[in-house]
Amino acid sequence: MALRTLALAMTVAVLPWSNGAALAFDRGCGRAVECYDRVRVPDTYATVERPVVVRPGFREVVQIPPVVSLRHERVEVAPARVHTLREPALYATAIQRVEVAPAQVHYALAPPVIRTVRENVVVAPGGVHWERSRGLFGRERICKVATPPVVRTIERNIVVAPAQRVPVITPAVYRDVARTVQVRPAATHRVLEPALHAFVARPVLIRPATSHVIDHPPVVGVERRDVLVRPGGYAWQRACHGCR
């Protein structure tokens, strides 16, 4: 851009004093045998390729784990043993009837048995006596009248049974009492506890662990770069040959 500006300035500077030459330049070479124009020659570039290491090579160690399987085996977890069990005595509460006071005999005086008897007693015996009476007209009469005996009912007590001593029996007195009684005595038993088994999964090595080395080569790429082979400038270029 700067060179183009410089060439334009030189052209403008030449114009005032070479009007005729400029007109001749526009019209062609005229009577000249050969003409050359001063032209701008651009820079010359070339594409250069070179190898570039994108990733360097490296060595990788690959570990292959072992192959392990599980095998179930029956193993004894606890051995057989004998336990001694002691059973305590068994007691219970029983209700028992207990004699608190024994039967007793005492005597009581029974009064005599008296019965009241009624009987008729002749107080005055009967008989005959004379009674005198007068009639309506003054006549007097005497009559022999039989007098009944006078009987009176009297009561008297008769001893039916004399007084006597009567035995009085007082029964025994009982009471319910709660007592602890032994239902079953203490005992000792021996109990055999069998052995305890279980299935256990145990690891079994089928293939051991291995390792191998893998070499990874480097990754190489191609870098392309434009390189200046020849710088540009100005050169004379033939305009026409044999122009008339």
pLDDT score recorded for residue 5: 38
pLDDT score recorded for residue 125: 82
Tokens linked to 42: 């651009």
**Nearest CA among 65, 63, 57 for reference residue 213:** 63
Give the mean model confidence (pLDDT) for residues 66-86.
88
pLDDT digits (tens, 9 = 90+) for 126-156: 888 777 777 777 777 777 778 888 888 888 8
pLDDT digits (tens, 9 = 90+) for 1-57: 333 333 333 333 333 333 444 444 444 555 667 777 788 888 888 888 888 888 888
pTM: predicted TM-score of the whole model, two decimal places:
0.28
* b/e per residue 203-218 (b: at least 16 CB within 10 A): eeeeeeeeeeeeeeee
